[in-house]
Structure 1
């Protein structure tokens, strides 16, 4: 069937004649019910027999694209884990405390959780290649700056920039796979893409330790700058644009920055030559002109299938992070390994994760074929299958039962093997098994999340990233207290039991997922279109009775449009400046608090703590001369009475009759109590300030997003073609609609 834009006809009559001729239908032919149903769709879909291939990229081109995006996906986990061996070296080199270096890790995680929501939405709108160029350029520049930085403030800021440049690469990679791979072959491609990111956490500590030991911490960032620069050059030369609303299925010519530099140098016009009207994927609308909306990612979390998949993924990611975070500490304490040997124990888990990614791809493709045969569906790798009628949940989750079962059991076994000080081979083997099955579970859920959000796969992965990073941060905060109180055995029993509990969530998605998709498609057809991967569409005329401006109306007043965009940009810039200033003030406050605490209180200065203990007892004997409330002395005596030492009385109300009123045992125990209480209070203050820091960053981002939301809502308020000015007419109904665009 010849599409209108290819035929070159502009009038309705010529378009109708061309369409009738191509379909061999006379003007008198009465349309069928199926034709009428097709006319009600948001855009016309071709018949299954006439559909263009899902992707025109050759197998070699797909492999090159997968290699490049796998390379780019390495940097987010690698940047995190390669940094750990340099913490002590950074502390001494920059003359700051370890707590301040740990603050750079926290800030890195905060940005890593937020950035993909913005960048993922941008890649769904502006294209994959442009966003890869932008993020890898930022990441490379940040590494160069980190290699040259000489103070803690620049380290903190550049680590946040580094995180912003690398955090979204995995989410964008899912989008690229959705662009070039049909559902039947998507599993293998996802498995290949995640092989690199899964092995990076194992290789990072080893590489970082070697660089710190034989060079310096600066060479960690120098190494990252070199390899990311190589990746950026390869992307500039070889990474083709894959976004389906820019190049369609690969048959549409890319323009401008979406073209590779190699195509300019060699004058390669392979993708610009059209073999005929049938080579263009007519199921795809033209690229929409709109501002990327990070709220798309948050909106996806309200879909039941999305939140279930995201929760399971987050539980597994939290366990994955906690195992990685506790490896070196546990093995050094329990097995007496050196720091270099402790770095090597990451390898079994990492190699298992890499193997699991590859196996998951093969398993998913096999399960897809089996489920298709069971339901009498012929798999079409060329054109892609209609997922509206295909039980993709049953295909992706066909093997999830044994991956969840084995992974949960292996994590529990790993914890008790370490607890009982079993042979070193036992926990390492269990690590390998856990890494393999956890990675397989990652791939199964991540691929299904891409399948059910074909229009915005990168935004869907960004939503997943927000939840998993938040849950992992909470899990890491609880990890050490749990280890201290119950030991590694029960600690990882808790994690493993939580993983096994995900079987229930997986069953709910397996059982009801397809019905949820079909129901949502009927309620909002613009969100799900079978078998396609196109950008989110704007609100249509049937939504809330709002009239969408015509093409002629959108071209009016270009000067005012430019001024509006400039105003939006300035508002966002001012919001970012306020956020940055407030963030800097909070960070400096935390810095001063830590410095004051360390200058006044040294963990090695036992005299200070004994002095505090004597002041407790002095209050019992002489009262509290410098306290506003005399009851402080009674409180101090009551506190000393809580000390429980066999054979020694530590109650200040009784000890005053003694000749030696300061027993060494009582003073020592009270010194420990004072030390514990003061550090607990200091840690609480730091967490409160950190909470305000995170809140400030989120408030600044939300403020910038609200400017975009209000501008969109105002643009939609049109009555008879004339714009309604002022905010008096603006109400929450339009805000709700804009958020759900």
Structure 2
């Protein structure tokens, strides 16, 4: 005779695998309808102003109701009772009605439970740890740039080939959120964070002892895979702790970690390679990663309200109390598939434009400024990274507060929160300040005008403009489509690092072929295309978003 508990476990796990294409709310995004009612009044989603039960990413709502109803019926015959996740659906109302009524009382997540579980001090500690972790990937990505000629000499290759390793690194950065964003939903933010930090340390140590180019490429790529996870995990943590009208301010902390790490890492790399071996760069990164691991181990709590793994495990433990772990499958391509929604594709192109120009600017600095200003020491060209780094620091915090302010102002005008209003803040930096700064930087270098002061000043302004846009763009992904869960923000990181890969691999060849002036002109046109995408989202995005969600069955007409 078949063991009933084994059958139940199998049905739950099979249901995950078969129906993963239909995603419901995740703990990251359910906060969009569990916060300040004034901020959400009038939103088109039917559940925005109501408490809703926690649902499982990757399970079809209809299939879940039917499956758990069957399990309930079977278990009741054994004298047990199951609590499941009921979602009222047009053709499953009868069998799921009792489940839904029960769950609306016992499983609903109130605003207080969701956002006030931790003290302000604990929240701040979580944000600081998430922000500091954002240093790791860009430090690893760009801190070695001042040492590219020395690394090329060590492996008997060219600087262009070493920069290709940056392109490979960026490809693995784009893959990272497709793995670790859903993992943090399933197994928790803390567990995923600790695993990724530990593996980052191991892989960075292996980069430091690389004996050939292949070993250098492989383990640098793996540091990208694990190190980039902290951006998507950090975005989840912010979503767990703060309501949408506060979120961009704290999202800016996560972004600031990455942006400041990009520049300060390059400065530090220049100092290190000037006085010692390039390998020390990676040993320093290894030490920073180890410090982050222990910080998270002792001070980072689990911020996810209830993980998908814990929900499934509770059900299974009713029949098998000794069960400690259950594998929850997920689809790695779901984050990429989220780009079928036009809003996410347009927002993704905005971040593509930003990151393309960022790597176009930072990657070739030593090859551009050394001959222009007759610099002979890596430390001098490394100091050029301070200008955009200071801009990143100022822009990230200013941009986040500015984005939240714009949202609050338009809530007062409309009487409701429209996610696209947040993007109004991006128009000036994206359409004017950033492209103008890139053009002036490129052509003053090309024509050898203005001395050091002009390119340094406009590198600074480009940094401010870039990180004024990122908080609004990132938060828009989190707020606009809660039905997609972490796939929305994951798709943004996927697209931006593909752009980083293209820029890293092509910028030196472009500068050698057409010059830094025309290379920056191309970058400016890419930014203006991103500006056009922002305009489309601001004026047509709400209608496009709702229609797309209805089309793909995520909302009712």
Interval of TM-score (by shorter of Structure 1 and Structure 2):
0.7 to 0.9
Given the alignment of the two structures, is residue 427 of structure 1 paired with residue 488 of structure 2, yes or no? no
The higher relative CO (CA closer than 8 Å, separation ≥ 6) is in 2
- 8 Å Cα contact 1:144-1:225 kept in structure 2: yes
Q: 1:366 to 1:45 in 2, by over 3 A?
A: farther
Shift of 1:448: 0.5
Residue 220 of structure 2 corresponds to 159
Query: Partners of 1:66 and 1:451 in 2: how far apart?
Result: 18
Aligned partner of residue 244 in structure 2, secondary structure: coil
Residue 416 of structure 1 corresponds to 443
Residue 336 of structure 1 corresponds to 374
Query: Partners of 1:466 and 1:401 in 2: how far apart?
Result: 23
- 8 Å Cα contact 1:124-1:456 kept in structure 2: no
Q: 1:39 to 1:200 in 2, by over 3 A?
A: same
> Residue 405 of structure 2 is aligned with which of 366, 369, 374?
366
- 8 Å Cα contact 2:126-2:300 kept in structure 1: yes
> Residue 307 of structure 1 is aligned with which of 332, 345, 350?
345
The structure with more helix, counted as a fraction of residues? 2
Q: Please, what is the CA RMSD of the aligned residues?
A: 3.5
Q: Any residues of structure 2 matched to 1:18-167 within 5 Å, and which?
A: 51-53=110-112, 54-56=114-116, 57-93=118-154, 101-102=162-163, 104-167=165-228
Query: Partners of 1:432 and 1:487 in 2: how far apart?
Result: 22
Rg larger for:
1
Aligned residues: 453
Q: 1:143 to 1:483 in 2, by over 3 A?
A: closer
Query: Partners of 1:444 and 1:176 in 2: how far apart?
Result: 17
Residue 238 of structure 1 corresponds to 299
Query: Partners of 1:217 and 1:468 in 2: how far apart?
Result: 28
Query: Partners of 2:512 and 2:216 in 1: how far apart?
Result: 31
- 8 Å Cα contact 2:52-2:104 kept in structure 1: no
Residue 271 of structure 2 corresponds to 210
Residue 354 of structure 1 corresponds to 393
- 8 Å Cα contact 1:297-1:462 kept in structure 2: yes
Query: Partners of 2:234 and 2:536 in 1: how far apart?
Result: 28
Q: 1:102 to 1:484 in 2, by over 3 A?
A: closer
Residue 399 of structure 1 corresponds to 425
Q: Which structure 2 residue ranges, 5 or more long, are not aligned?
A: 1-49, 55-71, 74-92, 315-324
Q: Which structure 1 residue ranges, 5 or more long, are not aligned?
A: 6-10, 13-34, 257-286, 378-389, 530-741
Aligned partner of residue 526 in structure 2, secondary structure: helix
Shift of 1:109: 2.5
The superposition leaves residues 35-57 of structure 1 with CA deviations (integer Å, 9 ceiling, x where unpaired) of: 99x979989668xx994324122
Aligned partner of residue 244 in structure 1, secondary structure: coil
Query: Partners of 1:45 and 1:520 in 2: how far apart?
Result: 28
- 8 Å Cα contact 1:414-1:430 kept in structure 2: yes
Larger displacement relative to structure 2 (157-166 or 430-439)? 157-166
Q: Any residues of structure 2 matched to 1:251-266 within 5 Å, and which?
A: none
Relative to the length of structure 2, the TM-score reads 0.73
Query: Partners of 2:51 and 2:472 in 1: how far apart?
Result: 38
Query: Partners of 1:209 and 1:439 in 2: how far apart?
Result: 24
Given the alignment of the two structures, is residue 326 of structure 1 paired with residue 364 of structure 2, yes or no? yes
Q: 1:189 to 1:213 in 2, by over 3 A?
A: same
Residue 441 of structure 1 corresponds to 469
Q: 1:485 to 1:143 in 2, by over 3 A?
A: closer
Larger displacement relative to structure 2 (229-238 or 516-525)? 516-525
Larger displacement relative to structure 2 (309-318 or 98-107)? 98-107
